[in-house]
Amino acid sequence: MNVIIVDYNSGNISSVINSFKEIAQDKVNVEVTSDLNKIKYSDKVVLPGQGSFKSCINALNKIDGLLDTLNEFAITNKKPLLGICVGLQMFADIGYEETETKGLGWISGKVTKIDNKNGKFKLPHIGWNQINIVKESKIFQNIKNYSHMYFVHSYEFIPKDKNTITAFTDYSSEIVCSVEKENIFGTQFHPEKSDKVGLKLIKNFLKL
In DSSP terms, 184 is beta-bridged to 81, 181
- Specify whether 136 is catalytic: no
- Specify whether 85 is catalytic: yes
Give the active site residue among 56, 97, 156, 190. Answer: 190
Give the active site residue among 97, 156, 180, 192. Answer: 192
- CA–CA distance from 95 to each of 10, 101, 155, 159, 165 (Å)? 16, 5, 9, 12, 18
- Specify whether 192 is catalytic: yes
Give the active site residue among 85, 125, 156, 180. Answer: 85
Catalytic residues: 85, 190, 192
